[in-house]
Amino acid sequence: MQVVSVDIGGTHARFAIAEVEGGRVVSLGEPTTMKTAEHGSLQLAWEAYAEMQGGTLPRAAAIAVAAPVGGDMIRLSNNPWIIRPALINERLLVDTWTLVNDFGAVGHAVAQVPESDFLHLCGPEGPLPERGMITVCGPGTGLGVAGVMRVPGNGYRVIETEGGHTDFAPLDRIEDAILAHARSIFNRVSVERIVAGPGIVLIYETLAAIEGRAVQRLDDKAIWTMALEGSDSLAMAALDRFCLSLGAVAGDLALTHGPKGVVIAGGLGLRLKDHLLRSGFVDRFVAKGRFRNLMAGIPVKLITHPQPGLFGAAAAFAQEHPGV
């Protein structure tokens, strides 16, 4: 059957028509991206998408939202839209729907996309294990964390977590300085204060202070652009440090969930694909003392599917409504 798949973030809402069957995604159509600021609600954006599709849409919806899912009202992060689940059928003119957290959707994508949609980073070559917990973490505006529990013969389950809000643990003097700088701004320094898109600013400013340079007030987009272009040595050093910290955090999460496999996801994660292997990401991932050999045996991959949120929302629908 056909399903309207929607991935709603703070800045953009993405729509696509997906085909699902037997609990899995068969295909995902061409995505349409809208700016959330140009629409007053999900219903209005939905209606605009319907017009683009000729006026009618399938009567099933798979919706991923950048917010905790639950309760009578869902308020999105960095987006004034409000979603009332009880009104979805009426407002969107659908008979069946699924609502899932955006990173929970990424977990569903990890479970269902083909092996060709993964880039191997380290550990044993080959597909992700078919049994046990796979840790999924993705740096973006925040740090998304989820688990995918695979059970042979029984499919999988996605476990949504708030692992990005655990405490940041520095591992050397430079990270001690980054933590001190962050503490001067925040009451508590979580992992996502450092290992997420905006965290590059804290890293950049700390490195500037260590070098005795005047701190330039730049936003994270400017620093990421300079770092990825290779046009500024300080920004490039901040990028290297970011990758180090991401490796350490991914390793900690793997130990916490049960070390079977790790997938790096998120829009920023994909942008880092050419840098992770050249950085100290792998060294930091395995640097867990007496468990170093154990960590070296964990396959770590990067999901390269261009729309894991849309694909994952459709996969969540397919899992929730396998007989529809």
Binding residues, by number, are 6-11
Gap between the Cα atoms of 204 and 316, Å rounded: 38
Annotated binding site for ATP: 6-11
CA dihedral in degrees (207, 213, 214, 216; nearest 10)?
-50
The distance from CA 243 to its chain's CA centroid, rounded to whole angstroms, is: 16
Q: CA 45 from chain center: how many Å? A: 23
Distances (CA, A) of 10 to 19, 102, 160, 277: 26, 11, 19, 30
- Between CA 199 and CA 44 the distance in angstroms is 34
Angle, vertex CA 218, rays to CA 80 and CA 187, nearest 5: 65
